[in-house]
């Protein structure tokens, strides 16, 4: 049974954040708010937890396109090859924000992702999310939670999310109603930024 944990975006309780981080460090799965839709996440360094998420999503872990959620751009060099100044300016203009940027991965990627040439980076504009990553000390791996309801596509009510995911995750963070528009996905590994999926983020500043 998942625990429904109320955390306020304006002023996240450090006590509650610590509880979430302890769960992540122990290989637990969480559902948490971002600046777009609610996400399913785990500690990037925990292979068992990564395998659980891949199983839930019905994909092979080494082929999964999960995003790495970072606190800010200082985490970039941990997993991304050196990027040119034009690419960095695009990131700086749009992050934190509702974007997933695809960047070239480096040799420090966790073992299970070693064969991947690219990595999706997220820096959500959400205090709960940032506090979790800051306290954990490394990124969390994340994927959106879809809904079978074709009209809704993404569930926005944390209580309904808990109902549905109760036996699959350890904590569902109630950070208020979520959005139902996902992040804009932009590939920055090509000569010009290429929009892979239009979402909440405006493409004007790319």
- In this predicted structure, the answer to whether residue 148 has a pLDDT above a threshold of 70 is no
Please list, in sequence order, all residues whose beta carbon lies within 8 angstroms of the beta carbon of residue 59, skipping any fewer than 6 positions away: none
For residue range 156-182, what is the model confidence (pLDDT) as tens digits?
A: 899 999 999 999 999 999 999 988 899
Is the separation of the CB atoms in 106 and 84 below 8 Å?
Answer: no
Domain locations in the chain as residue ranges? 3-197
| Residues 124-146 pLDDT 10s | 999 999 999 999 999 999 998 86
Distance CA 57, CA 59 (A): 6
Predicted pLDDT of residue 111: 87
- Tell me the C-alpha distance between 54 and 63, whole Å: 9
The CATH class, in words, for 3-197 is: alpha beta
- Residue 104's H or E segment, with its range, is strand 99-104
Match 């981080």 to its residue by tokens: 21
Helix, strand, coil percent content, the chain, rounded in steps of 5:
35, 25, 45
Lateral strand order in the sheet of 39-43: 3-6, 171-174, 30-32, 39-43, 140-144, 67-69, 118-122, 99-104, 184-187, 194-197
β-partners of residue 69 are 122, 140
What pLDDT is attached to residue 147? Answer: 60
pLDDT recorded at residue 75? 77
C-alpha pair distances (Å), 138 with each of 21, 79, 201: 11, 11, 24
The reported pLDDT for the residue numbered 150 is 52
CB of 154 closer than 8 Å to CB of 38: yes
- For residue 152, pLDDT over 60 is answered with no
């Amino acid at each position: 049974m998942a625990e429904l944990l109320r955390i306020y975006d304006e002023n996240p309780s450090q006590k509650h954040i610590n509880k979430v981080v302890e769960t992540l460090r122990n290989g637990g799965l969480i559902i948490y708010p971002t600046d777009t839709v609610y996400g399913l996440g785990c500690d990037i360094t925990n292979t068992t937890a990564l395998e659980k998420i891949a199983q839930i999503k019905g994909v092979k872990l080494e082929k999964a396109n999960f995003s790495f959620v970072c606190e800010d751009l200082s985490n970039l060099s941990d997993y991304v090859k050196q990027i040119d100044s034009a690419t960095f300016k695009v990131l700086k203009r749009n992050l934190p924000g509702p974007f997933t940027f695809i960047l070239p991965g480096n040799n420090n990627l966790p073992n299970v992702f070693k064969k991947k040439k690219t990595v999706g980076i997220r820096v959500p504009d959400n205090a709960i999310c940032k506090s979790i990553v800051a306290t954990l000390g490394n990124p969390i791996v994340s994927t959106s939670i879809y809904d079978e309801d074709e009209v809704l596509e993404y569930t926005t009510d944390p209580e309904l999310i808990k109902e549905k995911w109760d036996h699959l995750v350890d904590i569902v963070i109630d950070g208020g109603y979520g959005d139902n528009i996902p992040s804009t996905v932009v590939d920055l590994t090509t000569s010009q930024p290429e929009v892979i999926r239009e979402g909440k983020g405006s493409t004007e500043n790319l």
